[in-house]
């Protein structure tokens, strides 16, 4: 199934229990940039996103609105798709785990493979359960008796569930991670995963009683039990490709996952163990990004520091939001953003920076060149740019582009083409044509990051016209 000529990338599938937020936007945007970059290189690319719908949080959110789960989901899933449309997310498929045609057959096939391998067994369980995490916790997971991610006391439950023999695969997963057969970026998340393993892996619940969780996929052969979220949800990465339905696109597997650090162990431990049990290749790469905070705190309606991506998109436009999230949010560490920092970066680097440069160069071209500059043949991307993208340091790739913007600005200031064209017209035209070519290369590098802006720059060059203001200044 492996074919290195293909590139397969996935977002997490998100809980649609509330409106999409900046974290959803960021994960999806990282995937989109990498997908667009590989398409630009001529690599056959498949980009998957979607929603994880068989969760208690979805059921609770629907009940709060006096709706059935499927009725509630139609509205909230549409909002996720609207966000992706407005953010320019170029996914190839949007998978929903409630889809009985696309997803259910593969999820059932996965269960059957785990069962056939002897890795599923039924047992009674008594322990702590956090609805926010959709996960069972141990005492050592708690901070002050509460879930550290949701600041709530988990409920104590006693259930008879099916369990997966996660502990059986501890040594094998450890070796695969140490050898970078499964690459985990950054190194701190790789080490965190190894620490989880070294702390001792316990078998995990892979089902819940129907009376506790009826919204989901029934366990094959035991309709009194519902598949638990992780065996259902994680399998989406291959059910989307046809696993369980004929495997028409499984040639794209294995691929690359981009996730937030809050779901690390499920993707770096649970998922590899399931694939080993089912005798399916493991993912090549798992990129783990940090969280987005505002004013130094996790975004919260109570604190009043929530930044709505739809509001930013409405005020500043698609490419401005893409610019800020990729350049000013660190791909590996937690990053803090505020509306003030967004506006400052917009004015300094887009309105006064890139937008002003495009206007200067194309005004010179429009006024002084008799015809459009012949479209330059695509050159190899600069080494520094390529290295940054291949190391997933997308912020550094953007820094490189803006260094080129600054150099081009400085060249105009130093060589003064507006004066040269008057004293030495031919030399002036040559200089202006060179500036246009350099601007074209900037536009080409922008393509994966700011596709609308890239297109507008290229169209202006082909028309030999100064475009309308790309980024109007915000007061």
Across 415-421, average pLDDT: 96
Q: Which residue among 4, 5, 301, 414 is the active-site one?
A: 301
Q: Per-residue pLDDT tens for 162-184?
A: 999 999 999 999 999 999 999 99
Do residues 410 and 428 touch, judged by C-beta distance below 8 A? Answer: no
Q: Which residue among 57, 81, 298, 396 is the active-site one?
A: 298
> What pLDDT, on a 0 to 100 scale, did the predictor assign at position 301?
55
Q: Which residue among 31, 54, 103, 147 is the active-site one?
A: 147
Mean pLDDT of the chain: 92
> What pLDDT, on a 0 to 100 scale, did the predictor assign at position 3?
44
Give me the residue spans of the domains in the chain. 338-463
Q: Is 130 a catalytic residue?
A: yes
Q: Which residue among 31, 38, 103, 133 is the active-site one?
A: 133
Q: Which residue among 54, 103, 130, 257 is the active-site one?
A: 130
Q: Identify the band that residue 2 occupies on the pLDDT scale cut at 50, 70 and 90.
A: very low
Q: Is 31 a catalytic residue?
A: no
Across 433-449, average pLDDT: 96
Q: Which residue among 21, 168, 328, 455 is the active-site one?
A: 21
Instruction: Supply the CATH classification number for the domain 338-463.
Output: 1.10.730.10
For a pLDDT cut of 90, what percent of the chain falls above it? 77
Q: Which two tokens stand for residue 145?
A: 């008796």
> What pLDDT, on a 0 to 100 scale, did the predictor assign at position 456?
98
Tell me which of 13-17, 96-100, 418-422 is least confident: 13-17
Q: Is 257 a catalytic residue?
A: no
**pTM higher than 0.75 for the full model?**
yes
Q: Per-residue pLDDT tens for 248-259?
A: 788 999 999 999
For a pLDDT cut of 70, what percent of the chain falls above it? 95
Q: Which residue among 122, 150, 379, 424 is the active-site one?
A: 150
Burial class (CB in 10 A: 0-12, 13-18, 19+), 402: middle
Q: Is 458 a catalytic residue?
A: no
Across 115-126, average pLDDT: 93
Across 330-354, average pLDDT: 95
b/e 148-183 (16+ beta carbons within 10 angstroms → b): eeeeeebeebebebbbbbbebbbeebbebbeeeebe
Backbone angles phi, psi at 36, to 5 degrees: -65, -40
Q: Per-residue pLDDT tens for 178-216?
A: 999 999 999 999 999 999 999 999 999 999 998 888 889
How many Cβ atoms sit within 10 Å of the Cβ of residue 43?
13
Q: Is 289 a catalytic residue?
A: no
Q: Is 150 a catalytic residue?
A: yes
């Amino acid at each position: 199934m492996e074919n290195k000529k293909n590139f397969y990338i996935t977002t997490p599938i998100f809980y649609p229990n509330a409106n999409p937020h900046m974290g959803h936007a960021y994960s999806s945007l990282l995937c989109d940039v990498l997908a667009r970059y590989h398409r630009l290189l001529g690599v056959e690319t498949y980009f998957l996103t979607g929603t994880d719908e068989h969760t208690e949080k979805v059921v609770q959110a629907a009940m709060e609105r006096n709706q059935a789960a499927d009725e509630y989901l139609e509205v909230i899933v549409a909002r996720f798709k609207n966000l992706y449309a407005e953010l320019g997310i170029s996914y190839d498929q949007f998978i929903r785990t409630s889809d009985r045609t696309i997803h259910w057959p593969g999820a059932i096939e996965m269960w059957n493979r785990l069962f056939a391998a002897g890795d599923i067994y039924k047992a009674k369980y008594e322990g702590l359960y956090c609805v926010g995490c959709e996960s069972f916790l141990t005492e050592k997971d708690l901070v002050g008796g509460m879930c550290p991610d949701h600041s709530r006391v988990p409920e104590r439950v006693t259930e008879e569930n099916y369990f997966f023999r996660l502990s059986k695969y501890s040594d094998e997963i450890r070796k695969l991670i140490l050898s970078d057969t499964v690459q985990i970026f950054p190194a701190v998340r790789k080490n965190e995963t190894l620490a989880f393993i070294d702390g001792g892996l316990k078998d995990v619940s892979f089902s819940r009683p129907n009376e506790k969780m009826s919204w989901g996929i029934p366990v094959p052969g035991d309709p009194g039990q519902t598949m638990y979220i992780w065996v259902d949800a994680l399998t989406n990465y291959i059910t989307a490709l046809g696993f369980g339905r004929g495997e028409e696109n499984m040639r794209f597997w294995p691929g690359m996952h981009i996730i937030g650090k809050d779901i690390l162990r499920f993707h770096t431990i649970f998922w590899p163990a399931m694939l080993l049990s089912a005798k399916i290749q493991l993912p090549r790469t798992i990129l783990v990004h940090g969280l987005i905070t505002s004013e130094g705190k996790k975004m919260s309606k109570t604190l009043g520091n929530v930044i709505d991506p739809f509001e930013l998109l409405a005020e500043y436009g698609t490419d401005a939001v893409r610019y800020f999230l990729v350049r000013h949010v660190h791909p590996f560490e937690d990053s803090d953003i505020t509306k003030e920092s967004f506006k400052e970066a917009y004015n300094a680097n887009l309105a006064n920076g890139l937008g002003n440069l495009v206007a200067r160069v194309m005004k010179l071209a429009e006024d002084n060149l008799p015809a459009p500059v012949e479209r330059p043949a695509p050159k190899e991307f600069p080494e520094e740019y390529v290295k940054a993208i291949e190391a997933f340091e997308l912020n550094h790739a953007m820094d490189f582009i803006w260094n080129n913007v600054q150099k081009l600005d400085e060249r105009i200031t130093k060589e003064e083409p507006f004066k040269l064209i008057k004293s030495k017209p031919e030399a002036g035209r040559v200089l202006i044509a060179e500036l246009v070519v350099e601007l074209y290369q900037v536009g080409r590098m922008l393509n994966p990051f700011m596709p609308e802006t890239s297109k507008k720059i290229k169209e202006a060059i082909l028309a030999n016209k100064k475009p309308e203001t790309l980024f109007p200044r915000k007061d």
